[in-house]
Amino acid sequence: MIPSEDLVDQFRGVALQRLDRVEAAWAAVLSSVDDHAAVLIHREIHTLKGESRMVGFSDVNLVCHKLEDLLEVARARGYAVDEDFDLAVNMAFRFMAMLVRKKVGSQLRGIDLPGFVKQIEGILAETKPTPRGPQRATGPLLVRRAAPRVSIPMRAYLAPGAVDAFVEYAAARGARRDRLRVSWHAVRDLIGNQRAVIGAGQLAKHKSGALALARELGKQVDATFDVGTAEVTAEMLDAIDAAVLHLVRNAVDHGIEAPDERARVGKPPAGKIRVRCGMVAEWLELVIEDDGRGVSLAAVRERAVALGLVASDVVELGERWLDLVCQPGFTTRAEASDISGRGVGLDAVRAGIMEVGGTLTARTADGAGTAWTIRLPLPELTLQGHVFRVAFVPFPLVLDGSWKLCAAPVDGASVVDVALALGLVEESVGGPTHYLTNGTMTVAMLSDRAAATVQARRLVTVAAPSPYEVITLDTVEGLLVHPQHLGK
């Protein structure tokens, strides 16, 4: 099955982003001990290898496979590598970027891919891992500036400051506003929520890759995708996409048996793979299941004992098998192929899902297949609320839908003077009043304009008890106000 032009274009965009992240992470591990960057490199290259195979970029797949060999040696040496080794890694990045951009089926002039592969093999033959495990070079290391990467916990830590940056920018005038605009946009792009919609189109693209891999392995597969639509963050979509890629490939490669083997145990020749994704309460649940041979818990135990992860007198692994197979570098295969066997895939799946606040569980049965379940908290990226315009506040203010407008004035209501609270005025200027209640508190909102019902999108989310978050109304940015937290 030839991948669609849209799928190829999507692969190109994602692949180039992956290469940018990997190149920055490679620079980071050469200049300092950065375990996060080291894990990211191996995870991204392994994912890119799988994606390139799915869309028919066999040359990219080959370079990824050889680059993984280089990276394993580098990791074993604690990333203390010489300039020739570093040059080979960076050349691999450049080769892949050019190969990703080329037209499908065409050849790039001036690129000797077989020669480059032989060069990598020569470097691998000359550069052996240090026998005592990871070590750091005592001499000066190659230093480059790594691109910033903001984790979700760091994003939450920076969010209150981002709100302040927005207010400073929005209230500024003249040249100062122009200068602060650059700062605000940089902060917004770094930690702001990026919405994405997950649906059948994003995940069903992996079906063609599964069928192609099955044909290559001499297997038959019936793959179905039942995917509902849900709004998630861009990071969540990336984690889900990578998880489906790895888990579907694992099902084809490890789980589904060859037709003759299936026939011997009374199974139909075509193995079944089912991908289901939908909302369950406040969670997004993704299930990838197959009817293959299941995970060999005996093989997992044997490998775990050999690696010293489990005591030799442990007979049953119980639920611990899942944690073991998700350990970095854990594999039951004696040799790695260009498909799997490096112990990176499941580690990548779990790490990516955990980074976005999700969980990974699994159940397996000998001869009856394996089911992987991913659960992610659904983010509230959009909301219904009431919008207000307030004197001396140069942006809209929104109260979420938990607040209801009161039909008549309410005595003793807490006065919400956002202009004064934000320091945009030195004393309250009063104004028309609109009353709202959330059932436990009633507030008087000073507003120049009657409230209208709107839909807003959360741009910079701040955890309680913060009184403000940054939102957008179409293309206009403003603040979501939580009156119950004002003054805290």
pLDDT digits (tens, 9 = 90+) for 325-375: 888 777 776 554 545 444 446 888 888 898 888 999 999 999 999 999 999
Euclidean distance between CA atoms 314 and 274, whole angstroms? 34
Instruction: Kindly tell me if the per-residue pLDDT of 134 is higher than 60.
Output: no
What is the maximum alpha-carbon separation in the chain? 84
Closest by CA position to 235, among listed 379, 361, 347: 379
Q: Do 190 and 150 meet the contact criterion of CB atoms below 8 Å apart?
A: yes
Of the pLDDT bands very low, low, confident and very high (cuts 50, 70, 90), residue 81 is: confident
Q: Contact, 284 vs 230, CB < 8 A? A: yes
| Cα–Cα distance measured from residue 413 to residue 436, given in angstroms and rounded to the nearest whole number | 9
pLDDT on residue 475: 84
- What is residue 176's three-state secondary structure? helix
Backbone angles phi, psi at 480, to 5 degrees: -90, 125
Q: Phi first, then psi: give them for residue 149, nearest 5 degrees.
A: -135, 120
Q: What are phi and psi of 421, to 5 degrees?
A: -65, -35
Q: Is 236 helix (H, G, I), strand (E, B) or coil?
A: helix
pLDDT computed for residue 274 by the predictor: 95
In 3D space, the residue among 405, 380, 403, 406 whose CA is nearest the CA of residue 469 turns out to be 380
| Most confidently predicted of 20-29, 84-93, 380-389 | 380-389
User: Distance (Å, rounded) from C-alpha 283 to C-alpha 375?
Assistant: 6
What value does the mean pLDDT take over residues 55-81? 83
CA proximity to 15, closest of 72, 98, 90:
98
- Amino acid identity of residue 177, one-letter, is R
Read off the pLDDT of each residue in 214-223 and give the average, rounded to a whole number: 91
Q: Record the pTM.
A: 0.64
Let me know: does 387 contact 396? Beta carbons within 8 Å. yes
Report d(CA 340, CA 357) in Å as an integer. Answer: 27
> Residue 136 — very low, low, confident or very high, per pLDDT cuts 50/70/90?
very low
Exposure on the CB side of residue 69, measured as CA atoms within 13 A: 23
**Cα–Cα nearest to 25, from 186, 187, 145, 142:** 145
* pLDDT score, position 310: 82
SS3 category, 365: strand
The secondary structure element, H or E, covering residue 2 is none
The per-residue pLDDT for range 404-428, each reduced to its tens digit, is: 999 888 998 999 999 999 999 998 8
Q: Could you tell me the domains of the chain?
A: 5-126 (1.20.120.160), 196-377 (3.30.565.10), 382-485 (no CATH)
Q: How many helices (H) and strands (E) does the chain have?
A: 15, 16
Q: Tell me: the pLDDT tens digits for 236-273? A: 888 898 899 889 988 998 899 999 999 999 999 999 99
Please count the other Cβ atoms lying within 10 Å of the Cβ belonging to residue 230: 19
pLDDT in the model for residue 145? 34
Give the model's pLDDT for residue 290: 94
Number of neighbours of residue 51 by Cβ within 10 angstroms: 24
Least confident of 66-75, 146-155, 158-167, 355-364: 146-155
What pLDDT sits at residue 128? 58
Determine the average pLDDT of the residues in 423-441. 89
Question: Other C-beta atoms within 10 Å of 8: how many?
Answer: 16
> Which is nearest to 36 in space by CA: 354, 460, 462?
354
Angle formed at CA 325 by CA 324 and CA 326, multiple of 5 degrees: 90
For 442-470, how does the pLDDT look when each residue is reduced to its tens digit (9 = 90+)?
Answer: 999 998 887 899 999 999 999 889 999 99
Q: What are the residues facing 364 on neighbouring strands?
A: 370
Q: Quick one: pLDDT at residue 6?
A: 75
- Which among 118, 126, 50 is positioned nearest to 84, based on CA atoms? 126
CB 209 within 8 A of CB 49: no
